[in-house]
Structure 1
Amino acid sequence: MGSNDFVTIFFLVAAVLIFLQLRSVLGRRTGNEKPPFDPYSPRDLAKGPGSDDGKVVTLPRRDEQGVDERFAAVDAFATPGSELNESLREVVKQDPSFNPKEFLNGARMAYEMIVMAYADGDRKTLKSLLSREVLEGFEAAISEREARGEVVKSTFVGIEKADIIQAAMKESEEQVTVRIVCQLITATYDKAGKLIDGDAEAVSEVNDLWTFARDIRSRDPNWKLVATESEL
C-alpha cells in the first residue's frame, strides 16, 4: 500500500471519529427543537436570542411608522391630539387590553340591562353590574316603590346614541364616562292599577351620563356602574 493510500485512509477514519463525536455532543434533531430566533418576526420581536418563554416580558410593538400599536384602537376611535384621545391613551398605558370601541359596545348592553332590571326590581342582575354605593341607591328606590305597591312597566326601544366623553385613571382604577341617549316607553301604576307617571304608549327620550369603573388589580374583569347623572 502506498503512502498516499495510507494518508487517505487515515483522514477517512479521522472524519468518521469526528462525526461520531459531534453527534454525541450535539445530539440529533427530534422535531421538537425551538425554531431559530428571527429578529424581524412579530412573534420574536419582544424576545432576545435564548429568551426563556416563561420569563418573557412582552414589549409594545410598533408599526412601520414607529407608532405604538397599543394606541391604534384609540386613534381610530378619538381624534389624535384631542383631550379624549389623550385621556384614553392614559387608560391604555395602564390597561393595554382596553379597547374603546369594544368597551362602548359593552356599555350599551349594560345600560339596557340595568334600566330594565331597575324597572323589574331585579336586584340580582343589578348587584352584578353596580358598585356597592350605586346599588344601595337603586335598591332603596325599588324598596320604596314596592312599599307603595307601585308597578313600573317599561319597554326599551333602543339606544339612539352612545359616546365616551371622558376617561381617567384614578390610582389603579380606570373610569370611563359615557353619554347615552335612549328611547324608552315607561309607565308607573299605583296598587290600584291607575297610571300615576309616564305614558304607556308614548316613546320618551332619556339622556344619561353614566360612569363605569374597573380596578385593574382586581381578579374581577367586569366593569361596574359607579355614578349616574341625568342630562336635561
Structure 2
Amino acid sequence: MTGGFPVDLILFAMIAAFLVLRLRSVLGKRTGFERPVQPEARPTGFDPRGATIDGMAEEVPAGGGRSGRHVVPDPRTPPGQALSRIASIDHSFEPNRFLDGAEAAFRMIVSAFGAGDRTMLRPLLSDDTYAGFEQAITARENAGETQRTELRAVHELAIEAADLRGSIADITVRFVTDQINMTMGRGGEVVTGSDAVTELTDLWTFQRDLSQADPTWKLVATRSA
C-alpha cells in the first residue's frame, strides 16, 4: 500500500462502526469471553465515549480513558528498525496510529468473541487463530455457558516486537488492562473467574502482507504475559 492515507486505520474504524450496529446489545454492557484454546489469550471489552481514529468515531470503554500510554521502540533497536522498514514499503504506516488501530481491533475482537459472532471475527483473524476462537465459542455453547467481560481501564499499549520477512510484516503489541472476567454455567453459577477487577497483560501479534491491496492487519497469535 502506498501514499499517505491511513487506509488500514480507516478500515479498523469502519469495522468499529459496523460493530456498533451489529452488537448494540453487547457493546458497553457486561458481556465477556473466556480464554480461547491455546495459544489464544483473552481479549477485552467495549463501551461508548467519543474517541476518534483519524476523524472517524469509535466507542471506548466506560470507567476508563480512550487508551493508555503508547510505547514505541527506539528506532535504533531491532524492533524499531523493523518498523522503519515497514514504513519504507507502506508509506502510510505510523507506529502510534497503528497502536490506535490495534486497540480498536482488540476491543472489537473481544466483543465479537463474547457475543459468539463468528461472522465478525472471521475477517480479523488468521485461519489458525480463528480456528482456536471458533473452537472455544463452540465449546462454550455446547456447555450452555455465558460470559461477562468488563473493561475497566487500558493502561498501556506497547510495541514489543516487529519483523519484516520479504513483504510479510509482523507486529506484537502488549496490552495492559484492568478487566472483570467471569464464565457462568447454565444455572448462573460461576464456572471460572470472579467479579474482582484484575490487571491483565496480553501479547497479540498482528500480520499483514504489504504487497497485497488488502490493508487488514490480521491477528495471528495471542498469549498472556
Global fold match (TM > 0.5): yes
Instruction: Find the counterpart in structure 1 of residue 178 from structure 2.
Output: 183
- Give yes or no for contact 1:112–1:156 (8 Å, CA) kept in 2: no
Given that 1:108 and 1:159 are in contact with CA atoms closer than 8 Å, whether structure 2 keeps it comes out as: no
Q: Which runs of 5+ in 2 are unaligned?
A: 4-70
* Pairwise CA distance, 1:79: 2.7
| Partner residue in 2 for 1:218 | 212
Does the 8 Å CA contact 1:116/1:156 hold for their aligned counterparts? no
2:128 matched residue in structure 1: 133
Residue 119 of structure 1 corresponds to 114
- Supply the distance in 2 between the matched residues of 1:191 and 1:77 (Cα, whole angstroms): 44
Q: Which has the larger radius of gyration?
A: 1
User: Who is 2:60 aligned against?
Assistant: none
- Determine if contact 1:162/1:180 at 8 Å carries over to the other structure: yes
Verify the 8 A CA contact 2:80 2:162 in the aligned structure 1: no
Moved over 6 A (4+): none
Which is richer in helix?
1
2 CA distance for matches of 1:158 and 1:213? 26
Q: Which amino acid aligns with 1:143?
A: T
Q: Deviation at 1:163?
A: 0.3
The alignment status of 1:171 with 2:166, answered yes or no, reads yes
Residue correspondence of structure 1 range 83-98 to structure 2 within 5 A = 83-98=78-93
Corresponding residue for 1:47? none
| C-alpha distance in structure 2 between counterparts of 1:150 and 1:80, whole Å | 46
Let me know the Cα RMSD of the aligned residues. 1.8
Shift in Å at residue 77 of structure 1?
4.7
| Uncovered stretches (5+) of structure 1, i.e. residues with no partner | 1-57, 59-75
Written as runs of structure 1 = structure 2, the 5 A alignment for 1:198-213 is 198-200=193-195, 202-213=196-207
Residue 70 of structure 1 corresponds to none
Number of matched residues?
156
Q: Which stretch of structure 1 is more off in the superposition, 116-125 or 135-144?
A: 116-125
Query: Alignment partner for residue 142 of structure 2, among 147, 155, 164?
Result: 147
Relative contact order: is structure 1 or structure 2 higher (C-alpha 8 Å, sep ≥ 6)? 2
Whether contact under 8 Å (2:79, 2:163) holds in the other structure is no
Find out whether 1:109 has 2:104 as its counterpart.
yes
Asked if the contact 2:112/2:121 (under 8 Å) is kept, the reply is yes
Which structure dedicates a bigger proportion of its chain to strand?
2
Q: C-alpha distance in 2, partners of 1:80/1:189?
A: 46
SS of the counterpart of 2:211? coil
Q: Distance in 2 between matches of 1:158 and 1:116?
A: 15
Deviation at 1:94, TM superposition (A): 2.3
Identical residues among aligned pairs (%): 39
Task: Give me the whole-angstrom Cα distance separating, in 2, the residues matched to 1:78 and 1:205.
Answer: 23
